[in-house]
Chains A and B, each alone.
Chain A
Amino acid sequence: MSIWEYANPKKFMQTSAWALPWLTGLSVLCLIAGLIWGFFFTPDDYKQGSTVKIIYLHVPSAMMAINAWVMMLVASLIWLVRRHHVSALAARAAAPIGLTFTAIALVTGALWGQPMWGTWWAWDPRLTSFLILALFYLGYIALWQAIDDPDTAADLTSVLCMVGSVFALLSRYAVNFWNQGLHQGASLSLDKEENVSDVFWFPLLVCIAGFVLLFVTLVLMRTRTEIRARRLQALLARERLA
């Protein structure tokens, strides 16, 4: 009973079919519970006032924006090595989700920074890195759409994902270097640098769990759609030839 059994499209469809309702319910529950807890039942921060409430959206979405790309990288490697179509399609399915999380991280980051810095956008290293990540996501999605043959598209986007990962890391360091003098110590991250007290930490955990579950739910849902779309493409091609 190895995980590779799920690489079989049929098995994947069967398993995801029964898992999806549970995952949907669980993710909705966690998200709503976490956000309500965080929004209504936590105090203000002595330094940041009520803007600390943005943490319940900003941190989970930023984490998932990165994790989605990592998942795509792993799925791409599995495709290149073991040629499991489900893996390639899962990577394709995850990209728009990652892009959306990146957008949420950017918007909430900008809105959080506005009261602190007085501008609607600040070239803070973290925000800038996420902007670049958004561009990587866009390029990846665009390449999938530009190539007709599914296997060729899977191969090329996998290579792009791998090279992109290296350069995304390089960009992260470059952007830190680029912005060294500015806003030192006053960056947005409340999570690691400061001691996040329990009253903020527990609702944050629930929200993170909610975002993770949301990601898994949507990836499974979208991968099912990709598998069907692939089958549809093949059947239509057969019709055209017949």
Chain B
Amino acid sequence: MIALLIRDLRLAFRAGGGFGLGLAFFLLVAVLVPLGVGPEGATLAKIAPGILWVGALLACLLSLDRIFALDFEDGSLDLLATSPIPLEGVVAIKALAHWVVTGLALTLVAPVLAVLMNLPVDGYLWLVVSLAAGTPALSVIGAFGAALTVGVKRGGLLLSLLVLPLYVPTLIFGAEVVKRGALGLQVGTPLLLLAGITAGSLALLPFAAAAAIRVNLR
């Protein structure tokens, strides 16, 4: 399983692997939004939690179709499905690889972008915490969507349509954590709910995704 993880990570970090793409997109969002809504600090501070979360979400979306599609096309997915590792484990590992390359990277870079968005000082910690807690859910939900659409040619748009509604609870609670944290309020409830969604997704979605892959490999 570790070998699979290392292999996927190596593939992702290579040129054309999509690693920088997500980060660049995240940066773009943080630059374009102020250009669009105006430089007034108070406005930016108010929308910063939501914009940063939406940016992270969209950036995760970008590299989702790579999770299974490449292996599907060259037959590696068939091999993985028949290997001793359970397919659910394969899904989990691939989601983990995706998270390291996107979610984790975004979480670490987010404070820098928060500066651009004029996020209040109190919000920085909660930005990182909420992204750390929420982005694994984005990866595993995305993996489920990728499993559904792995056989669809150029299914990127369909993938987005399927996955974005599934992202709504994570987005709402994640942004809420940052919003409340920035105002100095209690963040316990949304944070707990956010973590709960992530935990539930990590526990259950690999099974759903594996089922979808088996169907697609038939």
Contact = CB atoms under 8 A, between A and B. Distances in A.
Contact, chains A and B (beta carbon distance below 8 A) = yes
Interface of A: 132, 135-136, 138-139, 142-143, 146-147, 152, 155-156, 159-160, 162-164, 167-168, 170-171, 173-175, 177-178
B148 interface: yes
A interface majority secondary structure: helix
A237 to B, nearest CB: 17
Interface of B: 144, 148-149, 151-152, 155, 158, 161-162, 164-166, 168-169, 172-173, 176, 189-190, 193, 197, 205, 208, 211-212, 215-216, 218
B173 A174 contact: yes
B176 A178 contact: yes
A143 B158 contact: yes
B140 to A, nearest CB: 11
Question: 10 closest pairs, A vs B, by CB?
Answer: A174-B169, A174-B172, A170-B169, A135-B165, A155-B215, A139-B162, A171-B168, A178-B172, A167-B166, A146-B152
A35 B101 CA distance: 56
Contacts, number: 77
B149 A175 contact: no
Contacts of A147: 151-152
B215 A152 contact: yes
A102 to B, nearest CB: 13
Contacts of A132: 165, 168
Contacts of A173: 169
Given A163-B144, A174-B168, A177-B173, A143 B212 contact: no
A156 B212 contact: yes
B211 A159 contact: yes
A50 to B, nearest CB: 35
B162 A170 contact: no
A167 B164 CA distance: 11
A179 to B, nearest CB: 10
A177 B172 contact: yes
A175 B166 contact: no
Contacts of B205: 163
Contacts of A175: 168, 172
Contacts of B197: 170
B165 to A, nearest CB: 4
11 contacts: A132-B168, A143-B149, A146-B155, A147-B151, A152-B215, A159-B212, A160-B162, A163-B144, A167-B166, A177-B189, A178-B172
B208 A139 contact: no
A138 B169 contact: no
A164 B211 CA distance: 15
Contact of B166 (A152, A155, A156, A163): A163
A136 B161 CA distance: 8
